[in-house]
Amino acid sequence: MTAAIVVEELEVVFDRFRALKGVSLEVREGESYGLVGESGSGKSTLLRAITGLAPVASGAITVNGKKLGKSRDKAFYREVQMVFQDPYGSLHPRQTVDRLLQEPLAIHGIADGEKRIERALDEVGLGKGFRFRYAHQLSGGQRQRVAIARALILEPSILLLDEPTSALDASVQAEVLNLLEEVRRRRKLTFLMVSHDLAIVTHMCERLMVMQNGEAVETLTASQLIGHRVNADYTRNLLRASEGFVRV
Amino acid sequence: MSGDTLLEVDDLRVTFPTRTGLVQAVRGASFSLGRERLGIVGESGSGKSQTGRAIMGLTPPQAEVSAKKLSFDGMDLLSISPRERRALRGNRIAMILQDPKYSLDPVMSIGRQIVETLRTHEKVSKAEARERALATLQAVQIRDPARVFDLYPHEVSGGMGQRAMIAMMLITGPELMIADEPTSALDVTVQLDVLNILDKLVSERGMGLIFISHDLRLISSFCDRVVVMYAGKVVEQIKASELRDARHPYTRGLLNCMPRIGFERHPLPVLDRKPEWAA
């Protein structure tokens, strides 16, 4: 199997703060890979570094066999798209859903926009009726569906998901997770997904990396995590915390 | 209920005027609270926070609060004067908010904010207020109270800020504490520390606690009793230990739809919302 994303000894430095301290990982093609950790662990920074939104100080990123340079070209964004955490902040408030979905098509000069928009909205479970609405007329779950539609409209092979459901209610979260699994199966996508919630990551991903303070703590398969076969104390703490409050 | 009922809420309604007519955020919520931990759980828009705010007296001025009964320790909260209400707020009834980043004053040191709360309600000297603030910071397990006393909110972590807020709310020795999503902005491991502190203080001081959260699993592991709200109404009241036998389909759906470690379910069950739940 070939690798979709290879990250080697990646360092990200903001001014003097080292957000990532030499992190390596490999995501296979068609795999769903999770990044877990608390705030400040560098998990989102890793995603942002891959898309070119964070300053890479050293290290190498290879996507679909192509080594990435300092800037990303259009071809890169046709392969890799990102869904952000906050559906209230990631959609333009003055643009209709239609306009939002046309933007990536216009950038990439894709002609059959009409058909693609209809199909994308269909695919994320929003009918045609949503096409000319504004973001503020939608619920959080519907907005996240639009964000997913926007990511899918270029037909990428890799989706980077940054806490895609943490701003949503539990019942809506279930719907969005189901949708993500479904599009992944149908389009044979590769997922790299960030979450602070171990339950979500074990549900969605086959393998995962636990991060803390900009470093990788350990790499596990979902079944190792489920079976509590973990090595690091930090992971054990996370597992315990995810089981809820226990009175001592 | 027995004599130690602290709070009684009967048919509480909170109505907001909007451009398109009246919106009822809370539509007849009823429950009572003793010296126990009561959880209010619901999704966004269920009216759980507005319920807490109405009890606290923090409903926005344009909204209207009505109830057959809203009484705290025998006092009718809806008929007392704003002045009397103010004397209760922060003194006998306290509230912890979700995010210390937004609910602490950014231009005031943590210590001064705590002292301010105390001196609003009690006549104490500056030196004594400082002593008591330091003692309370110690009580919420802040290791170096003297240092934290002089720090500003932006200089501390989320968990530390939340402890400072709890300290601020505790210093007057309230009988009723309302915690509105007190740990949602915190990391999971920090979350447990804060809950442990809250748990210990509530049981040691015999406070009544209303814990408002969207996280049913967290509430069920922390509280004695759970009130489930949906569309402004209480759909079920149940002992936390009996949650597995919950009867209302909404409660069961909410329990069911969360992914759990070690339970493979693809796809996840989703809530099938019935219009009659909101009726």
pLDDT, one tens digit per residue, over B77-118 is 999 999 999 999 999 999 998 888 889 999 999 999 999 999
From CA A5, how far away is CA A67, in angstroms rounded?
Answer: 10
Domain presence at residue A157: yes
Confidence of residue A193 (pLDDT cuts 50, 70, 90): very high
Among B190, B218, B269, beta carbon nearest to A174: B269
> pTM of the prediction?
0.88
Domain presence at residue B166: no
| pLDDT given for residue A111 in this prediction | 87
Residues of B in contact with A181 (CB under 8 A): 266-267
In chain A, the residue whose alpha carbon lies closest to the alpha carbon of B43 is: A169
Domain presence at residue B152: no
Q: What is the pLDDT of residues B32-63, one digit of tens each?
A: 999 899 999 998 889 999 999 999 999 999 99
Confidence of residue B234 (pLDDT cuts 50, 70, 90): very high
| pLDDT given for residue B121 in this prediction | 94
Domain presence at residue A62: no
Residues of A in contact with B226 (CB under 8 A): none
Are B187 and A39 a contacting pair at CB < 8 A?
Answer: yes
Q: Is A31's pLDDT higher than 70?
A: yes
| pLDDT given for residue A244 in this prediction | 81
Domain presence at residue B270: yes
In chain A, the residue whose alpha carbon lies closest to the alpha carbon of B158 is: A39
pLDDT, average across residues A164-185? 92
Among A169, A177, A245, beta carbon nearest to B44: A169
Q: Is B203's pLDDT higher than 90?
A: no
Which range marks the domain in which residue A214 is found?
A: 34-42+70-242
Domain presence at residue A155: yes
pLDDT, average across residues A46-50? 96
Write the ipTM.
0.81
Q: What is the pLDDT of residues B117-146, one digit of tens each?
A: 999 999 999 999 999 999 999 989 888 999
Domain presence at residue B268: yes
Strand order of the β-sheet with B93-96 is: B93-96, B176-180, B208-213, B37-41, B225-230, B233-239
List the CATH number of the domain containing A189. 3.40.50.300
| pLDDT given for residue B3 in this prediction | 52
Domain count, chain A: 1
Domain presence at residue A18: no
Domain presence at residue A161: yes
Distance from CA of A127 to the nearest CA of B (A): 19
Which range marks the domain in which residue B7 is found?
A: 1-84+214-279
Average pLDDT, chain A: 93
Domain presence at residue B28: yes
Residues of A in contact with B188 (CB under 8 A): 38, 196, 238, 241-242
List the CATH number of the domain containing B64. 3.40.50.300
Contact between A67 and A5 under an 8 Å Cβ cutoff? The reply is no
Confidence of residue B1 (pLDDT cuts 50, 70, 90): very low
Domain presence at residue A108: yes
Residues of B in contact with A194 (CB under 8 A): none
Domain count, chain B: 1
Are A171 and B191 a contacting pair at CB < 8 A?
Answer: no
Beta strands in chain B (DSSP E): 7-18, 21-33, 37-41, 64-66, 69-72, 75-76, 93-96, 176-180, 208-213, 225-230, 233-239
